[in-house]
Chains A and B, each alone.
Chain A
């Protein structure tokens, strides 16, 4: 409803309507509150303005009233909290089978890589109706990935991955903004999200220049950097077999367990001694400073592909028995 009012940006994702619904509710609620308070003030100001022969009546207060106007707002606040939290929960839990886009931000551009290998700068093509998850990191300062038409925003930090997801509903071209101040050209760090019909999108995908899928690029880096010498596809290597680890819990030397997500893989490569896998020695060399953010995303994509279902057409090795 009210799609064409210039009070909000285009509503082009499945999440946008939910955010707007709460927003409209809050507009009505606060409009009502303002009206109530302001009209009371106006009425009192007129009715009880200073007049001859009329004195103020001293009233100490009323505990009943105080309790009412603390508890009732609190109740309303809790409803707003729950509603907002519910939307947030959806925003922060990407569907499992979402297709992935790797985003590397730097002063002052967005580099976006599709799993299939398409690379884009300050522009992202996505089809309507597909869940898309961004896995984002920054090469320098903090940036923030913001698409008003999808009502999503997520800071992009150096040194770790953050994620965001959406499912576009309407073909069109939408703004991509950097929302966290990042230096001189912060306001120039903008781009476009191009939402296409699936058929058009397929055409775009096959027409573009692909330099090999992320995972296959990752595999060649894996060989170049000598990772294979320790991480072999059997259990004989000096390091753990990486097949099937992604998304599963990993037992650590110090007794803790962590789930192997993107940030874990990233950390394992950059500073391996931070979390040492149980049963192994901390002999893995530190790769901090030796791999670029792009190479890192490709390595992560490769490690991930080792855990993908066989039907996905990616290489899978036999996973070590858990």
Chain B
């Protein structure tokens, strides 16, 4: 085990075939993961660009940089691009795609062609979204609330709706592929209780994708039909109900938060185990908490609607249920912290991201308790408090998880080490920039600044200036990794089979792995996070 063989010359999935066709027609899950990596990075920078424009507009109270209508399109498309074209596919479609078969000792996913199809669906959806952006864009907010979206907006609602509808199918197919793969393709000896927590969390995520996304698809179709054929489903003048839309939309979009955060939790479990050299404390509870989150996640949607006009009693029930779903998240945080106890901790870049993740996710989670409290929600919902809260979860949590995971598995994916000191530096920049951007927004929100405001009363300016300053720092933190990852593909130190000396099947094959992942089909006779039997290396590798 853990032989430090450097294998850049060996045949692997990257050098087995060359040419554009070998990529566009590939059915190798690892190559498809890379296709996703490139495409979601593209959309990440588009969404990020919109975010920067938003922040620049908000530097001053007056609406002076862009027109009101442009501003409305910017925040709408920032949300749609980031959520549907970056966050939802991010970890599952890139890291999950790459790692699920490797981690369970399979040759590929259960349906390799379906996997390629889901990438193509994503690309079609993305092209449509881009077309929509370039030819005018949408201004409904990413939430598409009716009757604004169905009867009042005169922007490209149908096109954006169809784009997200198609992207949804890409997500459903990925989920389906993972569920079947995890059930059917595990190597001999890889029992359920030996699965890495990465797999458990991806399993839970896939179930949500399978059950939730069709509801989003139907909802968007209804919006499109209502807009085109004036059916009247959401139109009160025809006996329809605009709140019905909100119920349907949040029935998917609340669980969607877990589609984004569970995979990040998946990454953290692997990273923390590796860099504390320990089995995750309370493995079973962490695994089950993923399932609990997936199940309870479907029962809390109306907490987005406490002031929307739902009855007093349904508000009470949804508030109570929202507190229940907070418990499994808390369990995870406590277990990760406990894992560090009596560990042997190294401070590599992925571990720094893990620390950042725990910190920011904890703050995001705790502010969720504020929002679930009915009396407080009335005041802070639809203000910057909510914006800050979900960015702590989705950027502080999900994006930190994604970046941490990318660093952790980069040697496996590319066969090269990234420059460690630059990695640490970028992680620090991201952490500082993030907090400076979003912490002031909690205060802004409680002071009463509503979200989606193009201009605002002058007393809110100081905090907005801080936030904008933070966003520029954050931008630097995001550009850096892209630059040095690209650099490392050529100039990085070649990676060994297992540079972190980590447990897990993905580290028992060469870096990068051969096309069919393992030279010999692996047999599993050890538990997950078997760090007890993995000797520590002398030096932590630095690229």
Contact = CB atoms under 8 A, between A and B. Distances in A.
Contact of B237 (A34, A182, A185, A289): A289
Interface in A41-95: 41, 44-45, 48-51, 54-62, 65-66, 69-70, 73-74, 77-78, 80-81, 83-89, 91-92
A144 B379 CA distance: 12
B285 A61 contact: yes
A223 B310 CA distance: 35
Interface in B434-460: 443, 446-448, 450-457
Interface stretch (B4-12, B118-126, B204-212, B335-343): B335-343
A61 B145 CA distance: 46
Interface residues of B, number: 91
Contact of A45 (B315, B340, B342, B373): B340
Interface residues of A, number: 85
Contacts of A70: 327, 330-331
A16 to B, nearest CB: 9
A34 B334 contact: no
A229 to B, nearest CB: 26
A155 B374 contact: no
B152 interface: yes
Interface string B111-146: 000000000000000000000000000010100010
A312 B16 CA distance: 90
A284 interface: no
A235 B201 CA distance: 68
A180 B316 CA distance: 22
A7 B463 CA distance: 11
B69 interface: yes
A232 interface: no
A34 B366 contact: yes
Nearest to B344: A56
A167 B242 CA distance: 30
Contacts of B536: 50, 55
Given A78-B323, A141-B152, A26 B376 contact: yes
Sort A-B residue pairs by CB-CB distance and give the 7 closest, nearest first: A159-B236, A87-B375, A148-B448, A84-B373, A88-B374, A61-B282, A30-B366
Interface of A: 6-9, 18-19, 22-23, 26, 30, 33-34, 37-38, 40-41, 44-45, 48-51, 54-62, 65-66, 69-70, 73-74, 77-78, 80-81, 83-89, 91-92, 107, 140-142, 144, 146, 148-149, 151-155, 157-160, 162, 175, 177-188, 190, 271, 288-289
Interface of B: 63, 68-69, 72, 139, 141, 145, 147-148, 151-153, 236-237, 239, 241-243, 276-279, 281-285, 306-309, 312, 315-316, 319-320, 323-324, 326-327, 330-331, 333-335, 337-338, 340-347, 355, 358-359, 362-363, 366-367, 369-370, 372-379, 381-383, 443, 446-448, 450-457, 531-532, 536, 540
